[in-house]
Amino acid sequence: MKELIDEITKLTDEWYRWIGPDHHKDRDCHWHINTTWSYGNSPVYVIEHFGYIIDDQIIRTCATYEDALKTLKIILEKEIEEYRNYRNQDNDY
């Protein structure tokens, strides 16, 4: 799991480097995994991102912390790719 956390840490750094040159708010740089216990059930792990750059707020629920980490990694990779494409397309004009 440490390897996965290290990969996510690198991705959050890459995310910041992509959005850093643009005007952004501090909350664009924060990604959260919260643990929720409810009604005596097993906990769930909720991935959240409430930035301004991404059009929709991101909220995903996972059954395990490891699944939440894997999902967060996928989300970050997707958002970095989309933002990279956006920036490259914007530079073409």
Number of alpha carbons in the 13 Å side-chain half-sphere of residue 14: 16
Number of domains in the chain: 1
Residue 6 lies in a domain: yes
Residue 58 lies in a domain: yes
Residue 61 lies in a domain: yes
SS3 27: helix
Residue 93 lies in a domain: no
Q: Characterize 17-46 residue by residue with b for buried, 16 or more Cβ atoms within 10 angstroms of its Cβ, and e for exposed.
A: ebbeeeeeeeebbebebeeeeeeeeeebbe
Residue 69 lies in a domain: yes
Q: Give the range of the structural domain holding residue 40, as residue numbers without chain letter.
A: 2-88
Residue 22 lies in a domain: yes
What is this structure's pTM? 0.85
**Choice between 93 and 67, residue whose per-residue pLDDT is larger:** 67
CATH of the domain at 81: 3.30.160
Split at pLDDT 50, 70, 90, the class of 90 is low
